[in-house]
Homo-oligomer: A and B are copies of this chain.
Amino acid sequence: MKPKDDEKLQAIVDATFGLVEKVGLSGLTMADIARAAGIATGTLYVYYSSKEELINDLYRKSKTATANRLLKGYDARLPFRRRARTLWRNSMRNRLDHYAEAIFQQQYSNSQWRSASNHALFSNLMQEWLDFLEEGKRQEILKNAPSSLMTALFMGSTRETAELIRRKDIKSDEQTLDIAFALCWDAIKA
């Protein structure tokens, strides 16, 4: 008996992220994914029963991986601003180091594939972030504003900073990043 091959599954995942970066989520075809993964089209259906399942599973995998990366080095016992900085740096590095995944997540959110179950998943993953915001508000370190606005500001900042670095419009040295974060911090602090 030949068991399902983890290498092939990983090849499918990698191929799909790579293709989304090149042709966009709506330009994805099962044939292209199979070709890029080095397998036959039919083999795709051994691992995923439909294109929808494949894309939703990829979103789940990607969200989980992103969450882990965002929380890397995060320690609730550290000073609040230091924790904010860690989250900000992690978020920005994640966008730079896993650009294809970031593109995928963004396009997925506006796509026909968005599913309710994955939206709930998103909520779970973001719970720690929302708790973080609430703690900041309680301690009057952060402004008492709707979390959605705070999140938009924070994410907008990391996204645009990463984009500027990608385009080599700004350098990615310590000093520049400190300034960029400082702006974001001033925006949300009380």
Contacts and interface: CB of A to CB of B under 8 A. Distances in A.
Interface string A153-190: 10111011101100001100000000110010011100
Interface string A103-134: 10011001110000000000000000000000
Classify chain A's interface size. Answer: 35 or more
Most chain B C-beta atoms within 10 Å of own C-beta, residue among A143, A152, A157, A180: A152
B110 A183 contact: no
A161 B186 contact: no
Contacts of A156: 152-153, 155-156
A67 to B, nearest CB: 20
Contact of A186 (B107, B143, B146, B160): B143
A160 B170 contact: no
Nearest to A161: B149
Interface in A57-106: 103, 106
A110 B107 contact: yes
B183 A145 contact: yes
27 contacts: A23-B112, A24-B110, A24-B111, A24-B112, A25-B110, A26-B26, A26-B111, A26-B112, A27-B112, A106-B110, A110-B110, A143-B183, A145-B179, A146-B169, A146-B180, A148-B160, A148-B163, A148-B169, A149-B157, A149-B160, A149-B161, A152-B159, A153-B156, A153-B157, A186-B187, A187-B187, A187-B188
